[in-house]
């Protein structure tokens, strides 16, 4: 069976991507079912037992910025080795809530870690591996802030300022401009039916 495809969902906290994940997975499964393939749904940080343990640390414990970035990539290496690469090799498709674009956006854009350090880690951990398609759910930081305020108790990323998320969003958009062949930008200020129609169109091209 041919190698599977890797699709990622990205966006600042409050952009609305999580709202569409389960729906997208269901539609994607219908799209590829005839080929006998499955969809593996996962997330970052997380996706493995080690990754989930690191997720709890990353979301709730203060740490040095470089420690934070190193832990993100450590969790990613395990995720690739244990989940993503084996699934793709057996022909399944992988749908992940965040991947390395999030690290560039949050630790790079938001927190200010120099891009060359992140690029060195990305080359070491991933080689040239990147998603086949990245769906970037884009929304103004003030809109995202309103959405986050009505959600659960925020973690230490969700508690950041609008200025932080403005920088994070800008880095996401820079990454999308740098790699337009794999990014699709979704205007998540629009209604759910409108967004789902756009996602249906993207699925039909896969």
Give the burial class of 38: count Cβ atoms within 10 A of its Cβ; 0-12 exposed, 13-18 middle, 19 or more buried: middle
- The answer to the question of whether 17 is labelled as a binding residue is yes
Residue 144 lies in a domain: yes
Residue 163 lies in a domain: yes
Spatial distance between the Cα atoms of 66 and 69, rounded to a whole number of angstroms: 5
Query: Residue 147's domain is classified under what CATH number?
Result: 3.40.50.300
Residue 110 lies in a domain: yes
Q: pLDDT at position 152, please?
A: 63
Spatial distance between the Cα atoms of 55 and 77, rounded to a whole number of angstroms: 14
pLDDT tens string 151-185: 667 788 888 889 999 999 999 999 999 999 999 99
Residue pair 58/45 in contact by the 8 Å Cβ criterion: yes
| Distances 17 to 12, 49, 112, 139 between C-alpha atoms, Å | 9, 24, 24, 10
pLDDT tens string 66-89: 999 999 999 999 999 999 999 999
Residue 203: pLDDT over 90:
yes
Tokens 């790079």 appear where? 108
pLDDT tens string 112-153: 999 999 999 999 999 999 999 999 999 998 888 887 776 667
- The answer to the question of whether 16 is labelled as a binding residue is yes
For residue 99, give the nearest of 127, 79, 121, 71 by alpha carbon: 79
Q: Which domain holds residue 106?
A: 6-44+85-205
Spatial distance between the Cα atoms of 135 and 199, rounded to a whole number of angstroms: 9
Residue 176 lies in a domain: yes
- The answer to the question of whether 117 is labelled as a binding residue is no
Strands (E) across 57-198 are located at 93-97, 133-138, 183-187
Sheet of 39-43, strands arranged across? 39-43, 93-97, 6-10, 133-138, 183-187
- Please state, as a whole number, how many other Cβ atoms lie within 10 Å of the Cβ of residue 7: 24
- The answer to the question of whether 15 is labelled as a binding residue is yes
Tally of domains within the chain = 1
For 31, the token pair is 């799209």
């Amino acid at each position: 069976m041919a190698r599977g495809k890797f699709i990622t969902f990205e966006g600042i906290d409050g952009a609305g991507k999580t709202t569409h994940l389960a729906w997208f997975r269901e539609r994607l499964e219908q799209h590829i079912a005839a080929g006998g393939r499955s969809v593996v749904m996962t997330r970052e940080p997380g996706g493995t037992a080690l990754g989930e343990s690191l997720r709890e640390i990353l979301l709730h414990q203060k740490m040095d910025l470089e420690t934070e970035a190193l832990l993100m990539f450590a969790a990613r290496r395990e995720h690739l080795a244990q989940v993503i690469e084996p699934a793709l090799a057996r022909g399944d498709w992988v749908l992940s809530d965040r991947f390395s674009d999030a690290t560039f956006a949050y630790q790079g854009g938001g927190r200010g870690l120099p891009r060359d350090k992140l690029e060195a880690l990305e080359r070491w951990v991933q080689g040239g591996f990147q998603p086949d398609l990245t769906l970037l759910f884009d929304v103004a930081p003030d809109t995202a802030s309103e959405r986050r305020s009505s959600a659960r108790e925020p973690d230490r990323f969700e508690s950041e300022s609008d200025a932080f998320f403005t920088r994070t969003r800008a880095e996401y958009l820079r990454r999308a401009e740098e790699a337009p062949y794999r990014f699709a930008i979704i205007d998540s200020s629009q209604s759910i039916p409108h967004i789902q129609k756009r996602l249906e169109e993207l699925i039909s091209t896969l």
